[in-house]
A = this chain, B = another copy of it.
Amino acid sequence: MIVLGIDLGGTKLTASVFTEDGIILRHENVPIGTLKGTEVGKMITDVISRMLNPEVTKGDRIAALGISVPGISFISQGTVWAPNIEGWENYPLLEEVKLVTGDIPVIIDSDRACYILGEVWQGNAKGCKDAIFLAVGTGIGAGILVNGEILRGSNDIAGCIGWMALNRPFNDLYKYCGCFEYHASGEGMGKVARQYLSENREYAGELAVKVIEEITSYDIFNAYKNDDLLAKKILNECIEYWGMAVANLVSLFNPEKIIIGGGVFGPALSLIPEILKEAKRWAQPVGITQVKLEPSGLGGDAGVFGAGYLAMRSIIKE
């Protein structure tokens, strides 16, 4: 049996055909560029049509299709909300895809759900039934697996961990992104740096020579490596927030593994021991001894592997 996984990322679409063992038979990347609305839908259905073509599959029939979207998948409606794609507030992706897939099962889920499914299938959470992917990128989200099933909540928007309240009292800066995301996401790190620089004119370190509006989390990581004081201050605060978030996931979910990944976490991987140290101070003391904190085993491919596993699980469940 083979399945097709599609990961609609921020800048490109990745499509992979997988065997049951997670081996990639065929693979395609398509840049999204400036496409929007139905143009993105058409790009997806074009890729699917190509991948389903019997000449391409050499006679093997693709048994199911999984799609990872950068936002929320409203399962019962078949619609998708993706904040970074213009016109995808309530996009009827399932209906559109069904036009080219015929009777092949199609399952669409959020990127964060796919990340943890990918890690459980072929990454660092292999075989886990209670595991969480903490995705720290531009924003922050969590893909949460409870007893082998994705935690969806009553309306498909569970896992919005970027909104976690960690620092009282409430600050109006948290209003549009949430407290945790404000302080410890890629975008948040830039904001915190800009705020500090505007309030501390005497700082003359590495980050002071940057164009203030353009400072990114990568600049901060680079400066951190060079022992820059501001970068250390910002990252030490992030370690505190990441540790508190890990602790709260442990106390609430008692997971076997928490995988930390996402765009920001490439350079932050070496900080995992310090994050765990901070988490140990806060977390339920038995639960924290039962959890393993690990980096993503699949990196940027977690989404497409998860999409493949979405498809694979739908067949196995039948």
Contact = CB atoms under 8 A, between A and B. Distances in A.
Interface of A: 129-130, 142, 144, 146-147, 149, 151-170, 174, 178-179, 240-241, 244, 247-248, 251-256, 278, 281-284, 286-287, 290
B130 A153 contact: yes
B256 A164 contact: no
Q: What 3 A-B pairs have minimum CB-CB distances, sorted nearest first?
A: A153-B254, A163-B251, A165-B244
Nearest to A183: B168
24 contacts: A130-B154, A151-B253, A155-B254, A157-B284, A157-B287, A159-B252, A160-B287, A163-B247, A163-B282, A164-B252, A165-B166, A165-B247, A165-B282, A166-B166, A167-B167, A168-B240, A168-B244, A170-B281, A170-B282, A174-B281, A174-B282, A178-B282, A179-B282, A248-B248
A254 B163 contact: no
B282 A169 contact: no
Contacts of A247: 163, 165
Contact of A252 (B170, B244, B252, B283): B252
B164 A167 contact: no
Contacts of A151: 146, 253
Contacts of A168: 166-167, 240-241, 244
Given A170-B282, A282-B179, A284-B178, A290 B165 contact: no
A53 to B, nearest CB: 38
Contacts of A286: 155, 157
Contacts of A241: 168
A256 B153 CA distance: 8
B152 A149 contact: no
A157 B147 CA distance: 13
A254 B151 CA distance: 9
